[in-house]
Chains A and B, each alone.
Chain A
Amino acid sequence: MKLSRTTLVAVVLVVAALGIIGIYFLTMPPPAQPTPPTAPTPPEQPTPPTQPQPPKPEQPVQPPPGPTLQTLTIGTSTISVPSDFYDFVQKVKTGEVKVTINFWTSMSDWEVSVMKSVVEMFQKEYPGVTVKYTNVQNLKEQVKAGVLTGDVENTAHVFTWAHDWTGDLADGGAIVALDQYLPPETITDLKKQYATSAFTSGMYKLRLYGLPWASEAIALVCNKDFVPTAPRSWSEYESIMQQWYNPSERKYGLAYQIDPYHVYPFVTAFGGFYYDDDTDAVGVNSPGAVEGLRFYITHVMRYMYTADTGMEAQLKILLEGRAPCMITGPWNSKTIQENIRNPVVYAIPPIDGKTPRPFSGIKLLWITSVTANDKNRLYASILFSLWFTLSDDGLRVLVDAGYIPVKISILQYLQANADKYPMILGFAQSVANSVPMPKSAKMNYVWGPVADALNAIVTKYNEEGPDAAAGAVKPLLDEAQSKILTKIRG
């Protein structure tokens, strides 16, 4: 009798607890992050800035809306900005207004020290703005989580990464569009400052989300002792590879990491592509891509070490002088300069007059949407983005550290001092030939299947030789294409 009563109480308790949990679940906002262990009250959200406030009918967009324009000078650039922003800049310059912003990156050690010195230069110029610089892991996850919880103090206000995140971040509402706060005049002025491809990489759905400060694209990095002048065509370089290739002595014609990103120049040279932002088309098995990879197998892979096509092994081949050149990007510049006496960078030579176009990544500065409700912070973030991407002094420090600039005045400076920057200029040429990586979030579905197809081609090549591998290109790419299409359709 006693026992059954206890059981009854226990059952009632469990049911009640489940009920509480059930109600809690029902009242919860649509699936929130699983992590926050504190009671997930709907995160305090900055009211979205694009939200149509009780619209004032007499709100004209143009001609010159309310704010008058003033001319702001940063480095060698003059841009017209709204006068309240101009006033803010003057106040932080004298230290009359004080504001703190968080600047986040996810970089390697040597980059962090460069960033620190540039941030210091900014603070000297604008003592009113304190930039708290942090190098974080999992940058994207941390920024998104910070925006979701709306924690203004502990989230990045400005952060940087390559432009292919733009679509993803903008769709999720993590970053603000600069044109919400800057009039068309400012945007047009800004557009003139940077190389066009770099500037447009910050645009998404007609809005400007980020400003560019550096770019990267792969190029032919050579040891000048072995390849003194730029090869004029791929066949010219192929004859060099023929002389070098001798696997029994472990010598190869070219060091080259094989993955979808790195083989892209050969895909584009024949008119192929993976995904086109403009037409929203997937072209993994397009005739150009198939032809390009077949060419790659017979005219590039043949002279390579294919048993390990990872970055470490291939870089080692170049550094040990077992290959004259490597197709790689500026991120390896430092290691190469430390190990090779006389490195030089050439654009990838044209194949029968067709230009191979590598992917390029543009490093952008974005401003997170947590700043939207705090005008000083927002303006300080905009000022920091402008200064970081426009100040010639700061950019020159970045160039000396090995970054490939995108601001036109700095590019001109590089051309004038060509002998001082043999590597950077070569990469800059390669960037000029490049195709920016697609910004669409759909690109995430492309990498995996294409990587699988490429790896399968390499395996086939190692097991059955070049002819079998070339024969397998078409079916493998067809399969990758259909996989991508199913994923996109969902």
Chain B
Amino acid sequence: MARAKSRGLYPARVAYMLIIPSLAMYLFFSLWPVAYSVYIAFTDANNYNIASEPRIRELQAQLASITGYLQGNRELVLEQTYRADAYLGEVSGYLVELKRMIEHSTPETFPVVELMQLRSRCDDALTRAARIVTSNTTFLYYYENLGDALSRAVALIDGGVWGDIDRIVGFKLAISADDLSQLRSSTVPKIDRALAMLEQARSMLKQVESDYDLFVRAATRGLEEEIDRISLHVVGLQNFKTLSSDSRFPNSIFKTLLFVLTSVPLKVTVGVMLAFLFSSELIYGRKVMRALLLIPWALPVLLSVTTWRMFMAPQMGPLWAFLQSLGLDFNIYNKEWDAFLAYNIVEMWLAYPFIMTVTMAAISSVPRELLESATVDGASAWQRFKEIMLPLTARPILFASILTAGASLQAFMVPLLINNGGPTKEVQFLWFARTTAGVNEMMVLFGYNRAYLDQQYGLSAAAYLVVVAILFLYALVWYFLIYKRTTPGGA
């Protein structure tokens, strides 16, 4: 009876109405991004193929219509090809004239004004030729490597020939013998090379003129190659192979684990010690001091780590100067273990307030009666600490340690801001190939640097997949140690 009633109050479809949107939201906000980043880990994603859809769509549209267009407009395309050929011929003519001008005149007879006119005519013809080649009425750019050849020729003429003339002749109205000899020695060879490139481009235009059908087939291929170049490809396990091909990533995993092993005991010891210290009623003004000790927690990490770096930086930092006066040459930029020590200190400084707070809460929950009765029974202070306080606070401290170890495992801001995982040295880790790498590049930082320095998003995603696997393993280990076995630390 009661069952039926409750069914009337909450019909099943209400439940479904609530579940379906939340399920959809979950899939959309959690699973989709996760699935996407896992997918990226198996691709060759980089900066020029990750967001190239507009260009790909444009090229695909061209590809779709190119064959029909080229076949239908044979006359028009050929006519333009002839014209491009003629313009390039003109350019060659001007360059030959320029060469003659440089080789056969003396500083007195060097015609600066004529040179400028020649240059302007040459540029004009070159611009027109380039216009025809890149135009979407010819599609010549993608024929063989005509586009490449012509852009190299243009780059050489602009950057090399005119660049030299700008530098040597500049705004002068007359030139010196020295200028002329410079022109002869450096510019003339460039003119010769440019002429050869133009010749190459022209011979390709001639191929189009002589065999139009071949051009139609080749143009499609050129476009397809271009589309392929800027598309994302699935590369399977290639990224993981790359990660294990040298010592860099294995070393960074090793350094991260080492960092967990050193920083966690440090953080926990300092945090617990401070907690016990400031829980003692013997200390006057402990509430104020306790509040002050929590400051590192409240400051933005970016600010505090940068301050620490300045504090320790060679030549600048007061801590550096102090250590120097003690005869210690402490250098966070050059010395592998100095930097590692610096990470530990900063990480400790950032994390002890957390441990301290948790521990203090645990301490305050220990019943006073227990301690008092122990005192009455004749337990010494050390015995009270060892037999009562420690067992009763062990569990919260253990939890805090697990959490903070997770933070160390994901160390990122600290190494990034202190010295970006440096110093850089040759690294050889176990059997992995020798390589040059930042020796303290923690694994999360490794992924970040691959994405933002090298712009290899695929490789970076693969590295993060490995990081996630390690974190998962870590979580699993704790799960079995704490929940599956009988709880440690008394209770």
Interface residue ranges, A against B (CB under 8 Å) = 13-14, 17-18, 20-21, 29-34, 37, 45, 48, 50-52, 55, 57-59, 61-62, 144-145, 147-148, 167-168, 171-174, 177, 179, 184, 187-188, 191-192, 195-197, 199-200, 203, 205-207, 250, 277-279, 305, 307-310, 312-313, 316-317, 369, 412, 415, 432-433, 436, 441, 444-445, 447-449, 451-453, 455-456, 458-460, 462-463, 476, 479-480, 483, 487, 490
Report whether B57 and A45 are in contact in the complex, using a CB–CB cutoff of 8 Å: yes
Closest Cβ of chain B: how far from A282's Cβ, in Å? 15
Residue picked from B55, B422, B449, B456, most chain A C-beta under 10 Å: B55
Q: Which of B432-474 contact A (CB under 8 A)?
A: 435-438, 449, 453-456
Determine the main DSSP class of B at the interface with A. helix
Contact of A313 with B54 in the complex, beta carbons under 8 Å: no
Q: Which residues of A contact B387 (CB under 8 A)?
A: none
Produce 1/0 per residue, B130-151, CB < 8 A to A.
1111111100010000010011
Chain B 55-86 interface 0/1 with A at a Cβ cutoff of 8 Å (1 = within)? 11110011001100100110110001001000
Contact flag A206-B132 (CB < 8 Å), given A171-B52, A445-B454: no
Contact B314 A30 (CB under 8 A): no
Is A173's CB under 8 angstroms from B54's CB? yes
A13 with B315: in contact, given A171-B48, A172-B51, A444-B46 (CB under 8 Å)?
no
- Taking a contact as CB atoms under 8 Å apart, the answer to whether A199 and B158 are in contact is yes
**A354 → B minimal CB distance (Å):** 12
Q: Judging by beta carbons under 8 Å apart, are B314 and A307 in contact?
A: yes
Closest 5 interchain pairs by CB?
A173-B55, A455-B424, A48-B58, A173-B54, A200-B158
Whether A452 touches B436, Cβ cut-off 8 Å, given contacts A48-B57, A148-B51, is yes
Q: How far is the CB of A319 from chain B (nearest CB, A)?
A: 12
Q: Is B44 an interface residue (CB 8 A)?
A: yes
Q: Cβ of A50 and Cβ of B58 under 8 Å apart?
A: yes
Q: How far is the CA of A234 from the CA of B409 in the complex (A)?
A: 49
Q: Which residues of A sit under 8 angstroms from B54, Cβ to Cβ?
A: 45, 48, 147-148, 172-174, 369
Contact between B36 and A31, CB atoms less than 8 A apart? yes
Distance to closest chain B CB from A457 (angstroms): 9
Quick check: A195 and B423 within 8 Å, CB to CB? no
B156 close to A278 (CB less than 8 A): yes
Task: Check A33–B424 contact: CB distance below 8 A.
Answer: no
A196 & B52 in contact (Cβ 8 Å cutoff): no
B426 x A456 contact (CB < 8 A):
yes
A-B contact count (CB 8 A): 235
Q: A residues within 8 A CB of B20?
A: 13, 17
Compute how far the CA of A31 lies from the CA of B127 in the bound complex, rounded to whole angstroms: 37
Q: Across the interface, name the chain A residue whose C-beta is closest to B134.
A: A206
7 contacting pairs across A/B (C-beta < 8 A): A34-B36, A57-B73, A172-B51, A316-B315, A448-B454, A479-B436, A487-B454
Are the C-beta atoms of B136 and A52 separated by less than 8 Å? yes
Q: Assess whether B334 is in contact with A59, with CB atoms less than 8 Å apart.
A: no
Interface residue? B154 (CB, 8 A): yes
Q: Is the interface of A mostly helix, strand, loop or mixed?
A: helix
Binding site for A on B (CB under 8 A): 16, 19-20, 23-24, 27-29, 31-33, 36-37, 39-40, 44, 46-48, 51-58, 61-62, 65-66, 69, 72-73, 75-76, 80, 83, 120, 123-124, 127-128, 130-137, 141, 147, 150-152, 154-156, 158-159, 162-163, 166-167, 171, 230-232, 235, 313-316, 331, 333-334, 422-426, 435-438, 449, 453-456
What are the residues of chain B within 8 A of A460 when measuring CB–CB? 425
Nearest chain A residue, comparing its CB with the CB of B79: A60
What residues of A have a CB within 8 angstroms of the CB of B437 in the complex?
452
- The chain B residue sitting closest to A205, CB to CB, is B151
On chain B, the residues within 8 Å of A59 by CB distance are: 76, 137
B134 touches A207 (CB 8 A): yes
Q: Which residues of A contact B455 (CB under 8 A)?
A: 444
In the complex, besides A61-B137, A173-B52, A415-B171, 14 extra interface pairs with C-beta distance below 8 angstroms are A13-B16, A33-B51, A52-B65, A57-B75, A144-B51, A147-B54, A187-B131, A188-B124, A305-B315, A308-B314, A444-B47, A452-B436, A453-B436, A459-B425
- Compute how far the CA of A487 lies from the CA of B47 in the bound complex, rounded to whole angstroms: 13
Say whether B123 contacts A188, CB under 8 Å: yes
Query: Which of A37, A171, A479 gathers the greatest number of chain B CB atoms within 10 Å?
Result: A171
Residues on the B chain within 8 Å of A188, using CB: 120, 123-124, 127
- Flag if A200 contacts B155 (CB, 8 Å): yes
Q: How far is the CB of A254 from chain B (nearest CB, A)?
A: 15
A469 to chain B, nearest CB (A): 12
A7 to B151, CA, bound (A): 66
**Distance (whole angstroms) from the CB of B456 to the closest CB of chain A:** 7
Closest approach, in angstroms, between the C-beta of A441 and any C-beta of chain B? 4
Distance in angstroms from A185 CB to nearest chain B CB is 8
Find out whether the CB atom of A432 lies under 8 angstroms from the CB atom of B167. Answer: yes
A204 to chain B, nearest CB (A): 8
Min C-beta distance of B106 to chain A, whole Å: 24
In the complex, are the beta carbons of A21 and B159 less than 8 A apart? Answer: no
Q: Nearest CB to that of B151 among chain A residues?
A: A206
Interchain CA distance A167-B141 in the complex, whole Å: 16
On whether the beta carbons of A37 and B51 are closer than 8 Å, the reply is: no
Question: What's the Cα separation between A484 and B163 when bound, in Å?
Answer: 29
Residue pair A184, B51 in contact (C-beta under 8 Å): no
Chain A min CB distance to B487 (Å): 32
Q: Which chain B residues lie closer than 8 Å to A463 at the CB level?
A: 334
- Residues of chain B lying within 8 A (CB to CB) of residue A316: 315-316
Residues A459 and B424 in contact, CB atoms below 8 Å apart: yes
Task: Assess the A179–B134 pair: CB atoms within 8 A.
Answer: yes
What residues of chain A lie closer than 8 Å to B128, measured between beta carbons?
62, 184
Say how far A426's CB is from chain B's closest CB, in angstroms: 16
